[in-house]
Amino acid sequence: MKKIKALLVDLDGTIYQNGKLIDNTLITIQKLNKNNFPFRFITNNTRKSRQSICLYLRKLGLIIDESYIYTTMYAAINYCKKNNLKKIKIISLTDEYKNDVSDIDIVESKPDAIILGDLSEKFNYYKLNEIFIELQQGAKLIALHKNRYWLKNNNITLDLGPFVSLLEYASNQQATVIGKPNKKFFEIAAHDFKMDYANIAVIGDDIESDVIGSINTGMQGVLVKTGKYIEEQVEKSKIKPNYIIDSFSHITKNLFNDEF
């Protein structure tokens, strides 16, 4: 294994859990800062802007710069800029995304691309048809993620994925999916590091989106035993994490050879 020289760190379940920082998180971040060790945070959260997430973390006591946070919406907008997609239509449940948008032309009709976020129960025939027509007229479809379902109050509920598939089928185009475990997200978040992907490790509690996603991108995948970690899932998985550690703070043993 190549030496780890930078970190991409998942948030929910890795840094915090149930409204609290996971033990020793603060001291670990302080160590990274003291050693000028580059790191960024990555999250598949589609409803919160990086601004809100930054303020939330500060409330928990983690004082970091907003620019350290990569959300799927921010990455999607970044992707549009890089690919010269100038007029963007954004489909989102809240207008939180407005905090993350700059130097981009938000339009209601005739977009170059549509960024499809979560609309949950607000998805209906008219809305989908409206998007479909724009796609037929040449707009590119960019989806924040393609998860099939999620658990809402312990009940299985449709997620964004099925709607993405519906629109792909109707418009006969493949959506560009941005969120974890897709390569693009890791690539956009790692852009600042300017280093070989093999030297970058992704730390998270989700074997599929964090670990397998990062390994497929050519980075190292580190699984933490906090958050939604389930041992059986790791055993079943064909792709194994490069490292499994008890919690985020244990990464310092690998990086600086010290322990708490």
Q: Contact residues for other proteins (CB under 8 A)?
A: 26, 30, 51, 54-55, 58-63, 65-66, 99
Beta carbon of residue 49, minimum distance to other proteins (angstroms, whole number): 9
Q: Which residues contact 106 (CB under 8 A, 6 or more apart)?
A: 88, 89, 90
Distance (Å, whole) CA 93 – CA 46: 9
> Which of residues 63 and 156 has its CB atom nearest to other proteins in the complex?
63
Residue entry with tokens 């001291």: 27
Q: What is the DSSP letter of 23?
A: T
Beta carbon of residue 185, minimum distance to other proteins (angstroms, whole number): 22
> Which of residues 60 and 104 has its CB atom nearest to other proteins in the complex?
60
> Which of residues 64 and 128 has its CB atom nearest to other proteins in the complex?
64
Selection from 55, 77, 72 nearest residue 64 by Cα: 55
Beta carbon of residue 15, minimum distance to other proteins (angstroms, whole number): 14
> Which of residues 53 and 116 has its CB atom nearest to other proteins in the complex?
53
**148-152: long-range contacts at Cβ-Cβ below 8 A with a sequence spacing of 24 or more?**
none
> Which of residues 26 and 239 has its CB atom nearest to other proteins in the complex?
26
Beta carbon of residue 20, minimum distance to other proteins (angstroms, whole number): 11
Q: Which residues contact 107 (CB under 8 A, 6 or more apart)?
A: 87, 88, 89
Beta carbon of residue 260, minimum distance to other proteins (angstroms, whole number): 18
> Which of residues 100 and 206 has its CB atom nearest to other proteins in the complex?
100
Beta carbon of residue 99, minimum distance to other proteins (angstroms, whole number): 7
Selection from 103, 92, 169, 98 nearest residue 135 by Cα: 169
Distance (Å, whole) CA 107 – CA 100: 16
| Letter string b/e over residues 95-109, b meaning 16 or more CB atoms within 10 A of that residue's CB | ebbebbbeebeeeee
